[in-house]
Structure 1
Amino acid sequence: MSKPRKPKGRPISGWLILDKPVDFGSTEAVSKIKWLFNAQKAGHAGTLDPLASGMLPIALGDATKTVPYVMDGRKIYEFAVTWGEERSTDDLEGEVVATSDSRPTEQAIRDLLPNYTGRISQIPPQFSAIKIAGERAYDLARDGETVEIPSREVEIFRLTLLGATTDKAHFEVECGKGTYVRALARDFGRDLGCRGHVSDLRRTFVAPFAEDKMVPLADLVALETIEDRDERLAALDAYLIDTAEALSNLPHLPVTDDQAHRLKMGNPVILRGRDAPVAEQDVYATARGKLIAIGEIEQGEFRPKRVFI
């Protein structure tokens, strides 16, 4: 019997909050970071289009187990909409599919925003990662097919007009999971009768990571000049955020060393004491400040769903 292959790379774990540059795909960014850090595993929490810049949280090693909890978090984008043209991709990359000589007034734009605040129905762009009959919508669109993408409900917590000129308006939006900013621009243009597309897009926040945690890709690439491998990797590792920080929006359960051992074996632990929680859907447990498990509390018992070695 052949021996199992030893995973390539280092078994490091943590989050890197990358400031992704324009014209750099999310998958390409993850591959670059995985290579720079010589990490065994890597993944991102929320795709950014190549033409978009800003926050792309990248999980390394065991931190990939926490990706779903970051994907569900609120996000903030700053974006510009250029009026007069609707494009096939709803951004600068696509072909012009409709035009208008009309231009909205600033007041007309402000009057429109309440219609896009709260829970709204949105049809994702034709060029999106939505699956239609098992295929990505953007693959079908590139083949020249026009597909019917069903609308879905998304949540807009805050939508602000930052400024406007005759041909362009700048916005900031705080939104929930699954919101397409490109679709907002498209629908703004249609409702205002002037057509429109996103001409600039930057993500500044992905809960729970703040904007000041972002690291420019150029800063990381610059460390390649350090010849000593251990010194170079140590300099890179200094940018990593502890895995548990991705879970800071969840309830926290400190456990003892004995309980931590049981949890690592996949076993539940009984929570004792008058103030012990009785029921909770998602909780993360730590021992001595180290992340041990994510699980649920039911009938006064913590049951691990994901364990961290």
Structure 2
Amino acid sequence: MGRRKKGRDISGWVVIDKPAGITSTSVVNKVRWAFDAKKAGHAGTLDPDATGVLAVALGEATKTVPYVTDAMKAYRFTVRLGQATNTDDADGEVLSESGTRPSDDEIAAALPALTGEIMQVPPKFSAVKIDGQRAYKLARDGEDVEIAARPLFVESLTLIERPDPDHVTLEMVCGKGGYVRAIARDLGEALGCFGHVRELRRIWSGPFDVEDGVTLEELEAVAKTDAIMDFLGPLEIGLADLPELPTTESGATKLRNGNPGMVIATDVQYGDEAWASLNGQAVAVGRYKAGELHPSRVFNTA
């Protein structure tokens, strides 16, 4: 008989303004402890030295994580020009250096090649799997890691400021699977001067904005008290990019049992993915077909 998980059955989203120097997994564990929740997960890993939006899902909200992970995200980051590192960030070993420093106009002219539908090679020190093993583990063991290029959609890449000749601050909006470190690396190569990420901050991720984030210190100050509930957003936030289809009591009962249930649809097309709600509360996610939602995920929050 399996061991029963400790904690409360609590569901919703917590937006953390992640500090530097801590892993995303450690943040999730702290949030789970603070809420005394049975289950927790996050939508999109941030490197330990990165800061900004880390959206943590509790309970049934973990079922909506894929929809947040697939959403667009925005990053503001500073590139150190003139140096390439083995990790593509400031923690790595410097592999190459250059005295060349491009002008602002040259940097701006290089950005369009890194926007739109591009092919990106993830950093060697990344969580990409190669033959079942994480690339960063192989790289740490001294193996020559070769990672295949992957498609990435970059909606925009903008020059924000040039604080000094060695640094440039950029802002990027991109889709799922993008590595900012790889953008810095590829920009440095395109400019003929090398480059790596010096600072990185995720400013929004799907429906979550860093301005709405809570610090770990603020969360820990009210841990395991009723006041902590002020930091818990509804499960439904994770479904913001999907159309909402109201259902009835009988429809909700069928959906919760895993069966197709009647929904009220307007602009949704046959086969579209959507979520059914009863009095504003999520019941299920699935495909719309001829007046019914065929569930793929059911929420047990009633």
TM-score norm. by structure 2 comes to: 0.95
Could you list the runs of 5+ residues in structure 1 that have no partner in the other structure?
A: 225-231
Mapped pair 1:161 → 2:152: no
Cα distance per residue 1:41-88 (max 9 Å; x no partner): 000000000010000000000100000000000000000001111001
Q: Distance in 2 between matches of 1:43 and 1:96?
A: 34
Of 46, 50, 53, the residue aligned with 1:52 is: 50
CA spacing shift, 1:101–1:74, aligned 2, 3 Å: same
Mapped pair 1:218 → 2:225: no
* Runs ≥4 residues deviating over 6 A: none
Alignment of 1:1-309 (within 5 A): 5-164=3-162, 165-224=164-223, 232-271=224-263, 275=266, 277=268, 279-309=270-300
CA spacing shift, 1:185–1:293, aligned 2, 3 Å: same
Could you list the runs of 5+ residues in structure 2 that have no partner in the other structure?
A: none
Specify the SS of the correspondent of 2:95: strand
CA spacing shift, 1:276–1:259, aligned 2, 3 Å: farther
> Percent identity between the aligned chains?
47
Cα distance per residue 1:211-249 (max 9 Å; x no partner): 33211111112224xxxxxxx431111101100111111
Cα distance per residue 1:148-197 (max 9 Å; x no partner): 10001101111110111211000011111011000000011111111111
Q: Distance in 2 between matches of 1:285 and 1:301?
A: 10
Amino acid at match of 1:72: D
Specify the SS of the correspondent of 1:263: helix
CA apart distance, 1:210: 2.5
On the 8 A contact 1:103/1:194 being kept in 2, the answer is: yes
Aligned residue pairs total 299
On the 8 A contact 2:252/2:278 being kept in 1, the answer is: yes
On the 8 A contact 1:271/1:277 being kept in 2, the answer is: no
TM-score norm. by structure 1 comes to: 0.93
Specify the SS of the correspondent of 2:105: helix
Cα-Cα RMSD: 1.5
CA apart distance, 1:117: 1.4
Q: Distance in 1 between matches of 2:131 and 2:3?
A: 36
On the 8 A contact 2:81/2:193 being kept in 1, the answer is: yes
